[in-house]
Structure 1
Amino acid sequence: MRKHFITAMGFCLVVAMAACDSAGKKTEEVDARADSANMSDTAMATMPADTAMYNAASASISGTKADTVVTGMAKFTRKGNKTELQLTLEVPKKANSTVAVHFHEHGDCSDEGKGAHGHWNPTNEEHGKWGSGKYHSGDIGNIKLDKDGKATFTVETDRWTIGGPEKTNILNRGIIVHSGVDDYKSQPAGNSGSRIGCGVIQKM
């Protein structure tokens, strides 16, 4: 009887050790999967932002103030190593006058356009006149409206890309129409008046 008891205890001990070993292996497998998942999460978190280049973008422009109707469309097309802007604008209240147009840092038209923050200026230059001396990459400048408050404007430049490097990427920038004239010298924005129109540049 004593011999059978010892044999039974030995068998139980072997089973217990096997169970512990199996549990340990399962724990290691779970930990390994968790580590793998954490590594994947870390890799995803550190992946660079999308730097893809696109051929076209646009921004639909609308008014930011209840008392001023503003409509417009900005279309961007990649042509070789340059990007072309074709802008149409209509501000009936400002017929036969001039308004200023600029790109701003953020594509956010909230709070009457103030959500767009300041001028887009990736080269850290002074505000000025487009194509003359120092100027912001977003310094489009003054647009003359006709007797119906309408205007068209076209410009082509290698300072913009549709996607790509942060220094030239116009995607998700704000395009702002100001109520006044840009004097091309006052810092940092040309004393251009309030923000009466706003749009967000998005890929097509």
Structure 2
Amino acid sequence: MKSFTIAGLGACVLALAACDEGKLETGMPTAGGATAVAMLRTAAGADVGRVTASEVTGGLRFTVDAKGMPAGTHGAHVHTTGRCDAPGFETAGGHWNPTGAKHGTMNPQGPHQGDVPNLIIDSAGRGTVAATIPGATMAGLLDTDGAAFVVHTDADDLKTDPSGNSGARIACGVFQPS
């Protein structure tokens, strides 16, 4: 039994040593990488959290920390324009989609670069979600008209173009370099 365990352990070590390290690098923090922050607010101006975009190897990592929001599952997306005019936040435009893909991670022609997993808010009004978007850049996020982060009333079905049937916009924040 001991020889099998030692042999098995040796095989695991050899397998790990043979891994292509380049495939493991996507999403690794970038030394001195840029960040941007969007403060989420409701149409009434209430502070309901923040979203941080950070440069990582191979893309951008978006981290959402929400508070004081309605319990449930909500679509969450990066939008094309850095404006959040109440009451409906339509000025944020559509989903950030510089590659012209269809909406959703379950769509064979997707996803948009602005597609983030659903944000699940607990009964205390808090929730977090984080996702790395491969190929996304800070220069693209903070282009001449900026970008915003929007939380929607309903869950994103992750496949229906253009917005996953995620409903009205209930919170919005404009990305600012930090």
TM-score by length of 1: 0.63
Q: Distance in 1 between matches of 2:40 and 2:75?
A: 14
Aligned to 2:85: 110
Distance 1:79 1:141, change over 3 A: closer
How far residue 122 of structure 1 moved from its aligned partner, in angstroms, is: 0.9
- What SS does the corresponding residue of 2:138 show, helix, strand or coil? coil
Displacement over 4 Å in runs of 4+? 130-133
Q: Distance in 1 between matches of 2:127 and 2:108?
A: 23
Residue number among 154, 157, 162 corresponding to 2:138 in the alignment? 162
How far residue 69 of structure 1 moved from its aligned partner, in angstroms, is: 5.1
Residue number among 31, 35, 52 corresponding to 1:56 in the alignment? 35
- What SS does the corresponding residue of 1:201 show, helix, strand or coil? strand
- What SS does the corresponding residue of 1:140 show, helix, strand or coil? strand
Aligned to 1:184: 158
Q: Percent identity?
A: 31
Which letter does structure 2 place at the counterpart of 1:170? Answer: L
Structure 2 residues without counterparts, runs of 5 or longer: 1-31
Please, what is the CA RMSD of the aligned residues? Answer: 2.3
Q: Map 1:92-171; keep pairs closer than 5 Å.
A: 92=69, 94-95=70-71, 97-111=72-86, 112-129=88-105, 134-163=110-139, 169-171=140-142
Aligned to 2:147: 173
Aligned to 2:12: none
Bigger radius of gyration, 1 or 2?
1
Deviation string, structure 1 residues 63-113 (Cα, Å, up to 9, x no partner):
02x4x9561111122233332222101244x22x11110111101111421
Distance 1:201 1:130, change over 3 A: farther
Aligned to 1:84: 61
- Is residue 70–residue 197 contact of structure 1 (8 Å, CA) maintained in 2? no
Aligned to 1:202: 176
TM-score by length of 2: 0.71
Q: Distance in 1 between matches of 2:41 and 2:153?
A: 13
Q: Distance in 2 between matches of 1:132 and 1:73?
A: 31
Greater strand proportion: 2
Distance 1:132 1:151, change over 3 A: farther
Q: Distance in 2 between matches of 1:128 and 1:179?
A: 17
How far residue 143 of structure 1 moved from its aligned partner, in angstroms, is: 1.1
- Is residue 127–residue 134 contact of structure 1 (8 Å, CA) maintained in 2? yes
Q: Distance in 1 between matches of 2:53 and 2:111?
A: 20
